[in-house]
């Protein structure tokens, strides 16, 4: 098995992709990590892994590393997993998983090597997030070998993020950070910073400056505040404590600390005093030059109040931060992996449904969409002065879908999640509303109680009593919401709601909806 057999066929380039790959591989072969891996993996195995990745990357993103994106690298890594699965069709799930775990070791190391040597324009923090996504998606990396009941690491599991939802209060342009900015992120520098800051913090807790900090602040929290600041300043702005600028300090505290740092709102009051005490200590101990320490303390004091106020505003938090704070509020025990994963699954489902319901960006594959037969179900071409149109049918179906998604995400409707899934809930609501438009050309704003009763009477409560009860409850919550939001005709809300509160009535006109089973058939439910 070689890279040609497992790789992706490439279009012809003016440059030679095989030579470029060999150039990267030969450079990588000089590293200590490669030489250790070469004692474990055969040469053709290494070529199969590294070649599949590289040729896929060339095909999708070109041969210029400066033009590669994190998404390009993630897609190329996925191609390696796919290639292995297609060549191990007879393998069991456990055997395939084991092969994935093994081949991920050189793949991961090769990706990091390329990022540190040729694809240096990529942000290390984004690469780290991407690698964590890959590890979770394919069950590889250290977590792939772990006990399923081990605690869940905050840094591993993240919620879907949307950059357009958050804007920093102040924009600090990196071009104005002054001289000394390192254009490339280096892991050895990050490791060195972490090492000496950890040593400083350990000594700090024995100092007179620490004694001046409120006894309500724990050493664990204080250590987190200090290390988060030093790590973020380097990861995001490539600045070490010895060459920080005022702009960097302010950006970390008012942007990163508010947006991404996972702490409770009340903890923001502790950060300023801890950091000011720590840098006063670092100055006195000679760890930092006086001018640097004084500049840092001055910047902290200038933005401390801004940071505290912003830290109380949930709308400024990243989605991941919201998720983990909600987990803490719900009393989720991170030591219970199953409980934690169940919470995350439900949280993301609600997040996506809420965003879809509010017409914001969302992940289409994480939200159920009923494509249904609203355009083909039997309908009247006209009723009075109203005429059926494809545009209105489509808009009505879309509105109903958004109402259903939004309702599904609300805290007060979480009790339904234990009895029904999102797909059935959306189907119940959209099919009923589609039938109202098909038979009476009525959008929710035009619904009439008698017509609602006619459609409702078409459902047979005896065919599936349990589903019928859930259908009734779903529609009751829909109508209550529509009435509250003024999306029903004025003063008709109570009368429409009464249709679903009472027993089945025999209307004068027959409904086109025969039964709940028929409704599901029309939707081609699996």
pLDDT tens, residue by residue, 465-495: 999 999 999 999 999 999 999 999 888 989 9
Q: How high is the pLDDT of residue 10?
A: 38
Do residues 22 and 122 both lie within one domain? yes
Percent of the chain with pLDDT over 70: 85
Sign of the CA dihedral with 424 first, then 429, 430, and 436 last: positive
Do residues 393 and 301 both lie within one domain? no
* Residue 461 forms part of a structural domain: yes
* Residue 164 forms part of a structural domain: no
Do residues 128 and 196 both lie within one domain? no
Do residues 109 and 27 both lie within one domain? yes
Q: Where are the beta strands (DSSP E) in 283-391?
A: 382-383, 386-387
Q: Which helix (H) or strand (E) holds 18?
A: helix 17-29
Among candidates 397, 493, 485, which has minimal Cα distance to 436?
A: 397
* Residue 521 forms part of a structural domain: no
Do residues 130 and 199 both lie within one domain? no
User: In angstroms, what CA-CA distances link 508 with 451, 454, 460, 499, 511?
Assistant: 10, 8, 17, 15, 10
* Residue 355 forms part of a structural domain: no
Do residues 190 and 134 both lie within one domain? no
Do residues 304 and 191 both lie within one domain? yes
Do residues 193 and 119 both lie within one domain? no
What domain count does the chain have?
3
pLDDT per residue as tens digits for the range 309-331:
999 999 999 999 999 999 999 99
How many angstroms separate the CA atoms of 455 and 444, rounded?
Answer: 13
* Residue 192 forms part of a structural domain: yes
Q: How high is the pLDDT of residue 210?
A: 97
- pLDDT of 12 > 60? The answer is no
* Residue 333 forms part of a structural domain: no
Do residues 195 and 92 both lie within one domain? no
Residue 152, classified by CB atoms within 10 Å of its CB into exposed (0-12), middle (13-18) or buried (19+), is buried
- pLDDT of 513 > 50? The answer is no
Q: Which domain holds residue 426?
A: 367-499
User: In angstroms, what CA-CA distances link 399 with 355, 372, 395, 429, 430?
Assistant: 14, 14, 6, 11, 9
How many other C-beta atoms lie within 10 A of the C-beta of residue 208? 10
Do residues 204 and 309 both lie within one domain? yes
Tell me the mean pLDDT in the region 14-24: 83
Among candidates 101, 113, 115, which has minimal Cα distance to 40?
A: 101
- pLDDT of 128 > 80? The answer is yes
Among candidates 495, 489, 499, which has minimal Cα distance to 453?
A: 499
Three-state DSSP at 485 gives coil
Give the domain-ending residue among 107, 142, 177.
142
Among candidates 434, 435, 410, 404, which has minimal Cα distance to 422?
A: 404
* Residue 128 forms part of a structural domain: yes
- Asked whether 483 and 497 are in contact (CB, 8 A), the reply is yes
pLDDT per residue as tens digits for the range 408-442:
999 999 999 989 999 999 999 999 999 999 999 99
* Residue 7 forms part of a structural domain: no
- For residue 383, what are the β-bridge partners? 386
Among candidates 232, 252, 240, 245, which has minimal Cα distance to 170?
A: 252
SS in 3 state form for 90-151? CCCHHHHHHHHHHHHHHHHHHHHHHHHHCCCCCCHHHHHHHHHHHHHHHCCCHHHHCCCCCC
- Asked whether 7 and 47 are in contact (CB, 8 A), the reply is no
Among candidates 443, 433, 428, which has minimal Cα distance to 473?
A: 428
How many angstroms separate the CA atoms of 65 and 8, rounded?
Answer: 18
Give the domain-ending residue among 316, 345, 380.
316
Phi, psi of 407 (to 5 degrees): -60, -40
User: In the structure, what pLDDT confidence band is assigned to residue 224 with cuts at 50, 70 and 90?
Assistant: very high
Three-state DSSP at 225 gives helix
């Amino acid at each position: 098995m070689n890279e040609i057999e497992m790789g992706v066929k490439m279009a012809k380039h003016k440059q030679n992709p095989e030579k470029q790959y060999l150039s990267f591989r030969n450079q990588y072969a000089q590293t200590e990590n490669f030489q250790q891996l070469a004692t474990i993996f055969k040469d053709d195995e290494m070529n199969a892994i590294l070649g599949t990745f590289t040729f896929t990357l060339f095909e999708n993103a070109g041969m210029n590393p400066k033009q590669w994106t994190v998404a390009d690298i993630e897609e190329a890594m996925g191609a390696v997993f796919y290639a292995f699965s297609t060549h191990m069709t007879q393998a069991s799930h456990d055997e395939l998983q084991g092969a994935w775990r093994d081949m991920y070791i050189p793949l991961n190391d090769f990706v990091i090597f390329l990022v540190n040597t040729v694809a240096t324009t990529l942000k290390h923090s984004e690469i780290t997030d991407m690698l964590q996504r890959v590890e979770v998606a394919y069950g590889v990396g250290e977590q792939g070998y772990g006990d399923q009941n081990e605690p869940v690491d905050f840094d591993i599991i993240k919620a879907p993020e949307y950059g357009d939802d958050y804007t920093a209060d102040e924009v600090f342009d990196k071009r104005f950070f002054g001289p000394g900015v390192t254009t490339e992120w280096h892991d050895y520098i990050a490791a060195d910073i972490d090492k000496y800051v950890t040593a400083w913090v350990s000594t700090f807790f024995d100092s007179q400056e620490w004694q001046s900090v409120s006894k309500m602040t724990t050493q664990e929290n204080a250590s987190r505040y200090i290390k988060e600041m030093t790590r973020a300043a380097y990861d995001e702005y490539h600045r070490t404590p010895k060459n920080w600028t005022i702009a960097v300090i302010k950006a970390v505290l008012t942007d990163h600390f508010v947006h991404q740092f996972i702490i409770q709102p009340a903890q923001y009051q502790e950060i300023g005093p801890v950091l000011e005490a720590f840098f006063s200590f670092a100055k006195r101990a000679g760890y930092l030059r006086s001018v640097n320490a004084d500049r840092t303390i001055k910047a902290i004091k200038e933005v401390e109040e801004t940071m505290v106020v912003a830290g109380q505003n949930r709308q400024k938090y990243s989605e991941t931060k919201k998720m983990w704070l909600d987990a803490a509020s719900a009393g989720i025990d991170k030591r219970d992996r199953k409980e934690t994963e169940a919470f995350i699954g439900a949280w993301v489902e609600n997040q996506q449904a809420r965003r879809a319901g509010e017409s914001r960006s969302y992940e289409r594959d994480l939200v159920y969409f009923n494509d249904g037969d609203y355009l083909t179900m039997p309908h009247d071409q006209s009723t009075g002065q109203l005429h059926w149109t494809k545009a209105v049918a489509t808009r009505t179906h879309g509105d109903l879908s958004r109402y259903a998604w939004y309702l599904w995400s609300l805290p007060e409707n979480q009790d339904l999640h234990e009895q029904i899934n999102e797909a059935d809930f959306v189907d119940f609501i959209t099919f009923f509303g589609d039938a109202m438009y098909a038979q009476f050309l009525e959008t929710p704003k035009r619904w009439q109680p008698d017509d609602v009763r006619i459609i409702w009477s078409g459902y047979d409560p005896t065919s599936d009593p349990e589903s019928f009860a859930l259908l009734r409850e779903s529609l009751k919550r829909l109508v209550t919401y529509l009435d509250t939001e003024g999306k029903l005709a004025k003063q008709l809300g109570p009368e429409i709601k009464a249709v679903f509160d009472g027993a089945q009535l025999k209307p004068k006109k027959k409904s086109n909806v025969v039964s709940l089973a028929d409704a599901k058939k029309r939707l081609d439910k699996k």
